[in-house]
């Protein structure tokens, strides 16, 4: 799996981010990251024995960890297309090697989930929605397959924030989609092709609008956009999910935390809709 990730993830991001490709691979396959994600999700719903769908399950490491460590009845979808099938193929190998049924991960997209209405207790994804062809439809599909009382929990970037997590660069809030490729090309002197594919409309305002739209078909209650998690992280010993991000932001964050008396900086950022990342969490009524 490490070699497969090196050929796919490592090669792909080497043109996007100047960090060490081996660091990117270690971060991508780090199983402790799956445990931290579970701890965040369990603030909203227990995981044990729940039927869970991961949208964009990648190499399957997150889902396999949750099945083994939390007894989750887990399923995933990951699209497989020529040149971009490393995740789907890798997840099949990982599941077989761990005595799990590889058919639990299906070749499908977020916009067309191959499951009946009301199938899952939890629908989860991390850093997927910004890469979908139609994030609005992907959200609708995720709510469709939730049971009544089920929880949707999706981690995603906030493009009204001041940091872009793929290129690992500082940015102004993005209100206009061509702005990010322009910044990548002319400020940071990097290839903007990948930036042009990102769904930069994703931000807290967009999320609230989507919840209103979803309510027309499936009544839901918005539980959080992750503001409370952001505020809590700023006032405690900060743990970065990825070492590559920590290496770049550690010094900056240390200064922010020193100046952040009574969390005034964090509260200001939340008021300005700039907290990062977004954890869109809602309950289907």
Q: Which residue, 32, 119, 37, is CA-closest to 75?
A: 119
The length of the chain is: 285
Distance CA 223, CA 281 (A): 5
Q: CA distances (Å), 104 to each of 46, 51, 76, 129, 155, in order?
A: 21, 12, 6, 21, 22
Sequence-ordered strand ranges (E) for the chain: 51-55, 73-77, 105-106, 120-126, 146-156, 163-164, 169-170, 220-224, 278-284
Residue pair 200/174 in contact (Cβ under 8 Å)? The answer is: yes
Q: Which residue, 10, 94, 19, 7, is CA-closest to 57?
A: 94
The SS3 of residue 134 is: coil
Question: What pLDDT shows up at residue 105?
Answer: 96
Split the chain (285 residues) into runs of 10 and give each run's mean pLDDT. 78 73 80 93 95 96 95 95 78 94 96 98 96 96 98 97 91 96 95 94 98 96 97 73 58 75 89 96 98
Q: Fill in the DSSP letter of residue 266.
A: H
Question: What pLDDT shows up at residue 95?
Answer: 95
**Domain covering 2-284: architecture:** 3-Layer(aba) Sandwich (3.40)
User: With the C-alpha atoms ordered 61, 66, 72, 77, is the resulting torsion angle positive or negative?
Assistant: negative
Residue pair 265/234 in contact (Cβ under 8 Å)? The answer is: yes
The full set of domain ranges for the chain reads 2-284
């Amino acid at each position: 799996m490490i070699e497969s990730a090196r050929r796919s993830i490592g090669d792909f991001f080497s043109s996007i981010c100047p960090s060490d490709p081996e660091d990117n691979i270690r971060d991508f396959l780090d199983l402790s990251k799956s445990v931290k994600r579970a701890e965040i999700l369990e603030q909203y719903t227990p995981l044990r024995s729940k039927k869970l769908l991961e949208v964009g399950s990648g190499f399957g490491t997150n889902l396999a960890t949750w099945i083994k460590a939390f007894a989750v009845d887990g399923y995933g979808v990951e699209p497989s297309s020529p040149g971009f099938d490393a995740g789907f193929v890798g997840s099949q190998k990982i599941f077989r090697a761990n005595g799990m049924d590889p058919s639990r991960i299906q070749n499908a997209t977020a916009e067309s989930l191959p499951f009946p209405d009301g199938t899952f207790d939890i629908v989860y994804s991390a850093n997927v929605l910004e890469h979908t062809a139609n994030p609005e439809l992907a959200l609708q599909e995720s709510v469709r397959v939730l049971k009544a009382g089920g929880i949707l929990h999706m981690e995603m970037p906030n493009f009204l924030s001041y940091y872009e997590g793929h290129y690992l660069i500082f940015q102004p809030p993005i209100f206009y989609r061509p702005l990010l490729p322009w910044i990548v090309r002319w400020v940071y002197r990097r290839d903007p092709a990948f930036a042009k594919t990102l769904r930069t409309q994703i931000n807290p305002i967009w999320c609230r609008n989507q919840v209103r739209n979803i309510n027309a078909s499936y009544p839901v209650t918005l539980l959080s956009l992750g503001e409370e998690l952001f505020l809590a992280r700023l006032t405690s010993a900060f743990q970065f999910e990825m070492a590559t991000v920590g290496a770049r932001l550690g010094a900056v964050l240390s200064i922010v935390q020193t100046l952040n008396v009574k969390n005034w900086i964090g509260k200001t950022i939340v008021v300005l809709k700039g907290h990062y990342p977004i954890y869109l969490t809602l309950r289907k009524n």
